[in-house]
Structure 1
Amino acid sequence: MLKVIQSPAKYLQGPDAAMLFGEYAKNLADSFFVIADDFVMKLAGDKVLNGLHSHNISCHAERFNGECSHAEINRLIAILKGRCEQVPDMRSCLSSGAMEQGSS
């Protein structure tokens, strides 16, 4: 079975990197759905969101509830569908692994 991981071609790290996120993100899309747990959101959330807004990029931040489960994925998809015109159903892209073996 083919397994694919796709990610942006850039990795941003360093002092004030979170505030500079918008500079690099503006070439990827006009809006973002930001998912992070409480720890990451407290650590860098405001900086990332402000960095996006400073480049006129709209975004919505949503809390990740800590477990990658079908229930959590479905919850986030429902929120995303309420905010976007087109949302692909990524559940069809899941390979055999933790998601298929985990609970929902």
Structure 2
Amino acid sequence: NRTGSVDRHDPPTWMAEQVKLRDQHCVFPHCTRSSADADLDHINPYEETGPPGQTNPENLAPLCRRHHLAKTFAGWRYVRNKDGTYTWHNKHGHAWLVTALGTIQLE
């Protein structure tokens, strides 16, 4: 439950391990790939000249490489909810809720 942030893109080892233990699989809808070898994605995109503290556990989530690329280049977006679930939206207006137990289509 360690908190804190760093002023660089890549998280330190403790933060990466914390996020991968918190979310044990890729958090993209219906994906079950292990977070062990996942990319850590900035939910709100990292900006080189942005504010300090952008890299923190609440702004990071594990995505397998395929879904990291889909999020970055195919119009997907998501938020981490206060209860630890994720709400995803695609460019067609569909939405999903991703929980530790699976995915629920919302729209």
Which has more radius of gyration?
A: 1
Question: Is the TM-score greater than 0.5?
Answer: no
Greater strand fraction, Structure 1 or Structure 2: 2
TM-score normalised by L of structure 1: 0.31
TM-score normalised by L of structure 2: 0.30
